[in-house]
């Protein structure tokens, strides 16, 4: 049975700890009056995240974007960096803002991560790194990427903004490549309001990042790097400590939503749903659906509009492709990115968050089934 929803259903809703828990967590900040600059909450959160993510080192940042931008700077990369156009614009901005040239590689049809079969053709003598994206929390082909990177002596920085808590063959997703960036933005599976981190096993990189996120300051009298300001403050870190206590439960609730969508949508012709890879412990960050208009009665944009008339706000993640977005269009050469284009024109991410009522999921699925 359909209800009329007067409440807007957005694609996501931020996870928050119980109010009292956060108030208790920030009380000591009033006693110490230490608000930022690597305080006790910052230190504790770095420790706990090393543990949770099963990675040797973690460096916290004010957001995921600055984490990635400064990580690229810290590695002193030059020339060209290969990434995919099927991502959030931040990935490419982080490359371009370091005066590097992004080279766009296509994605594969299976999980929408970088197509490793097309990757090697794009490597030139100017290539210094690969920035693959674990899009929707799907794990890139980390083994092949490692092989290719070793062969051509390239750095690998994963954009793991979507992949918090994901494990691959029992390992934390941040264990692969030279470094991984996580985003703790309010809309992600795990948040510190705004925040981000670099995970790595490279102690020298961690030292460099510590300095770069604090203006390049080494001591009171020594500033030897052109750094930025990208420190996570104590209130954000306290939010992170609180949310970390609940993130496993939040992911379990997301799994229920995922299963409900699968149950209700899998028999509709012309819909391609997200499949969980058997080597992966997923985090159910998004619920992308590809609408194939040759087999389903509506195209993606029509579904988007239809849901909107029912007060349900899905998102076209990721459309347009980054190489077709206003600030990058025609600016860089790229290989053939036809799969990315096809997916980008057909994908819709449906509402997905821990507190999403299963009745609402049923309602969304019913609207899609009817197609009107
Ligand atoms: C969210 C996101 C970022 C940026 O993270 P912020 O914490 O918002 O700065 C980068 N890449 C991808 C793929 C993202 O989804």
Reported pTM: 0.97
Is 3 within a domain?
A: no
Instruction: Report the nearest atom of ligand 1 relative to the CA of 135.
Output: 13
User: Radius of gyration over alpha carbons of the chain, in Å?
Assistant: 21
| Rounded Cα gap, residues 111 and 114, in angstroms | 9
- Of 124, 126, 105, the residue nearest 115 (C-alpha): 105
Q: What is the pLDDT of residue 335?
A: 78
Q: Which ligand 1 atom sits nearest the alpha carbon of residue 184?
A: 7
H/E stretch holding 223 reads strand 222-223
Q: Note the pLDDT of residue 6.
A: 63
Percentages helix, strand, coil for the chain (3-state, rounded to 5) are 40, 15, 45
Q: Quote the ligand 1 centre to 340 CA distance (angstroms).
A: 19
340: domain CATH number is 3.90.1150.10
Task: State CA 99 to chain mean position distance.
Answer: 23
Instruction: List Cβ neighbours of 305 (8 Å cut-off, separation of 6 or more).
Output: none
Domain count, the chain: 2
User: How far is CA 6 from each of CA 106, 176, 310, rounded to the nearest angstrom?
Assistant: 41, 45, 9
Please report whether residue 4 resides in a domain.
no
Ligand 1, residues at Cβ distance < 6 Å:
63-65, 87-88, 90-91, 133, 159, 161-162, 183, 185, 196
Neighbours of 250 (CB within 10 A): 19
Q: Per residue of the chain (372 residues), give pLDDT as tens.
A: 444 556 899 999 999 999 999 999 999 999 999 999 999 999 999 999 999 999 999 999 999 999 999 999 999 999 999 999 999 999 999 999 999 999 999 999 999 999 999 999 999 999 999 999 999 999 999 999 999 999 999 999 999 999 999 999 999 999 999 999 999 999 999 999 999 999 999 999 999 999 999 999 999 999 999 999 999 999 999 999 999 999 999 999 999 999 999 999 999 999 999 888 889 999 999 999 999 999 999 999 999 999 999 999 999 999 999 999 999 999 997 778 999 999 999 999 999 999 999 999 999 999 999 998
Task: Residue 50: give its domain's CATH number.
Answer: 3.40.640.10
β pairing state of 101-104 and 155-159? unpaired
Kindly give the interhelix angle for 203-212 and 64-74, rounded to the nearest 10 degrees: 120
* Å from CA of 306 to ligand 1 middle: 28
235 and 259 assigned to the same domain: no
Specify if 6 maps to a domain: no
Question: Are 179 and 32 found together in one domain?
Answer: yes
Q: Are residues 283 and 337 in the same domain?
A: yes
The boundaries of the domain holding residue 59 are: 19-242
Q: Are residues 234 and 253 in the same domain?
A: no
Q: Is residue 201 part of a domain?
A: yes
Question: Which residue's C-alpha comes closest to atom 13 of ligand 1?
Answer: 88
> Does residue 319 lie in a domain region?
yes
User: Closest by alpha carbon to 303, among 295, 311, 291, 294?
Assistant: 291
Best residue among 12, 84, 185, 325 to mutate for probing ligand 1, ranked by most atoms within 8 Å of CB: 185
Are residue 173 and residue 88 in the same domain, yes or no?
yes
Contact 344, 289 (CB under 8 A): no
Classified as helix, coil or strand, 312 is strand
Side-chain half-sphere exposure of 288, counting CA atoms within 13 A: 24
Task: Say if residue 291 is in the same domain as residue 151.
Answer: no
Which is nearest to 238 in space by CA: 26, 10, 31, 12?
A: 26
Using the mean position of ligand 1's atoms as its centre, give its distance from the Cα of residue 170 in Å. 25
Ligand 1 binding pocket mutation candidate from 68, 90, 189, 194 (most atoms within 8 A of CB)? 90
The vertex-266 CA angle with 262 and 272, nearest 5°, equals 100
pLDDT given at position 7: 83
What is the Å distance from ligand 1's center to 118 Cα? 25
Q: Which phi and psi angles does 170 have, rounded to 5°? A: 80, -5
Residue that is last in its domain, among 213, 242, 271: 242
Say if 8 falls within a structural domain: no
CA distance 175 to 199: 8
Contacts for 59 with CB less than 8 Å, ≥ 6 apart:
46, 67, 197, 198, 200, 206, 209, 210, 213
Last residue of a domain, one of 192, 207, 242: 242
Question: CB count, 10 Å around CB of 338?
Answer: 9
């Amino acid at each position: 049975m359909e209800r009329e929803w007067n409440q807007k259903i957005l694609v996501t809703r931020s996870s928050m700890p119980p109010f009292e828990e956060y108030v208790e967590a920030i009380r000591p900040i009033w006693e110490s009056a230490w608000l930022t600059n690597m305080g006790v909450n910052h230190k504790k959160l770095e420790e706990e995240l090393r543990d949770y993510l099963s990675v040797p080192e973690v460096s916290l940042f004010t957001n995921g974007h600055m984490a990635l931008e400064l990580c690229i700077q810290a590695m002193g990369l030059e020339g060209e960096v290969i990434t995919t156009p099927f991502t959030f614009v931040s990935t490419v901005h982080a490359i371009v803002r370091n005066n590097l040239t992004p080279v766009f590689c296509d994605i594969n049809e299976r999980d929408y991560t970088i197509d490793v079969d097309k990757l090697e053709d794009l490597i030139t003598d100017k290539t210094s790194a690969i920035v693959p994206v674990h899009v929707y929390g799907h794990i890139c082909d980390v083994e092949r990427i490692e092989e290719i990177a070793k062969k051509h002596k390239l750095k690998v920085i994963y954009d793991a903004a979507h992949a918090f808590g994901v494990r691959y063959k029992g390992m934390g997703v941040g264990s692969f490549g030279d470094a991984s960036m996580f985003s703790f933005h309010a809309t992600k599976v795990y948040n510190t309001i705004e925040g981000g981190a670099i995970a790595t096993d490279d102690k020298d990189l961690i030292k460099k990042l510590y300095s770069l996120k604090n203006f390049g300051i080494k001591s009171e009298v020594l500033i030897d790097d052109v750094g930025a300001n990208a420190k996570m403050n104590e209130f954000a870190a306290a939010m992170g400590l609180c949310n970390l206590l609940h993130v496993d439960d939040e992911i379990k609730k997301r799994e229920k939503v995922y299963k409900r969508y699968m149950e209700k949508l899998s028999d509709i012709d012309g819909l391609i749903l997200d499949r969980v890879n058997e080597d992966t412990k997923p985090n159910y960050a998004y619920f992308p659906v590809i609408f194939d208009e040759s087999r389903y009665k509506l195209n993606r944009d029509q579904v988007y509009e239809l849901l909107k008339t029912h007060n349900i706000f899905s998102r076209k993640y990721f459309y347009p492709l980054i190489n077709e977005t206003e600030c990058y269009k025609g600016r860089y050469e790229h290989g053939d990115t036809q799969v990315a284009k096809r997916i980008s024109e057909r994908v819709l991410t449906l509402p997905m968050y821990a507190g999403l009522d299963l009745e609402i999921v049923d309602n969304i699925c019913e609207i899609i089934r009817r197609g009107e």
